[in-house]
Amino acid sequence: MKIAIIGSNGQLGNDLMAIFSENYEVRGLTHDDIEITDIDSVKNVISLLKPDIILNTAAYHVVPEAEKFPAKAFQINGIGALNLAKVCQDTGVRLVHYSTDYVFDGSKQKPYTEDDRPNPLNVYANTKLSGEYFALNYCDKSFVIRVSGIYGKVPCRAKGGNFITTMVKLAKEKPEVKVVNDEILTPTSTSWIAKNTAELIKTDTFGLYHMSCEGESSWYEFAKVIWDTLKLKTPLYPASVNDFPLVVKRPFYSVLENRNLNKLGINQMPGWKEALKEFLKNFNSEKQNSPF
């Protein structure tokens, strides 16, 4: 089976490349190789590569920037997904498209299932939701996977890092660090997303899936595990979202329940704390490859 991974040099794309290369013929595609906002580029690449499956991780995901440039965000997150869905439908290629927990507004205060109604609060989330609808409604053989609080070996290119690398950097540079304890999510390793995606594509049960680690955490609890595992000495304190200027409206609760994966019996996602400790220990011990 031939698989093409769009955004292969990104945080999630890097782990998808690693996991899928073990069993499949994989081609990684970066922005230099394909322009998903241009349907002719999508047609040309797919006709040349003739993949069986396309995994799309490309996204405009710097949330404050999306507020400033909504048209650009929609072109990538919405029209890009539409173009891929149309061409995949026409060519019989299966599509895996990744989305976000931010499609919810947080008011439920309990884990969101795939059946819950989205209510995105910002431009980024709205454009990602449009991409979900395009993928699901224009391609019969599509999987849409929502993820939450992701981190991986390769820092996020657009943001210059991820939460872990940011925390470690702050711990080195600041006399103290404050992190909010009233915004709740589920930190999720991109390696585990890649592993569970590999199980999902073995099925033909297309549709919408949540794929996050189990449990829930505040950003402060997330940081506390980083501090304890890496033995960081800088004082860490809890704070409130009200202590920081709210640049963009965000959901303060966006925990996902992997209900549809559980229905298929293929939910492999571990507890968030277990996965995080595993990640931190592995990469703290491999200094030459460590993002720290």
- As a whole number of angstroms, the distance between CA 224 and CA 205 comes to 38
Q: Is residue 138 a part of any domain in this protein?
A: yes
User: pLDDT by residue (tens digit) across 139-161?
Assistant: 999 999 999 999 998 765 555 57
Q: What pLDDT is stored for residue 247 in this prediction?
A: 81
> What is the average per-residue pLDDT within 98-120?
97
Let me know if residue 172 belongs to a domain. Answer: no
Share of the chain above pLDDT 90, in %: 88
The set of residues, in sequence order, having a beta carbon less than 8 Å from that of 245 and lying 6+ positions away, is none
Residue 91 within any structural domain of the chain: yes
Catalytic residue IDs: 124
Dist. CA 55–CA 36, nearest whole Å: 12
Rounded Cα gap, residues 66 and 248, in angstroms? 10
Q: What is the CATH number of the domain that holds 29?
A: 3.40.50.720
Is residue 88 one of the residues assigned to a domain? yes
Residue 284 forms part of a structural domain: no
Calculate mean pLDDT across residues 88-102. 98
Domain count, the chain: 1
* Span 216-254, pLDDT tens digits: 999 999 999 999 999 999 999 999 988 887 789 999 999
For residue 152, is it within any domain?
Answer: yes
Q: Does 235 reside within a domain?
A: no
Parallel, antiparallel, or unpaired for β 142-147 and 94-100?
parallel
Nearest residue to 127 (alpha-carbon basis) of 85, 71, 65, 87: 71
The whole-angstrom separation of Cα 51 and Cα 91 is: 10
pLDDT exceeds 80 at position 51:
yes
Task: Establish if 96 belongs to a structural domain.
Answer: yes
Range of the domain at 114: 2-159+188-214+254-269
- Is 0.85 topped by the overall pTM? yes
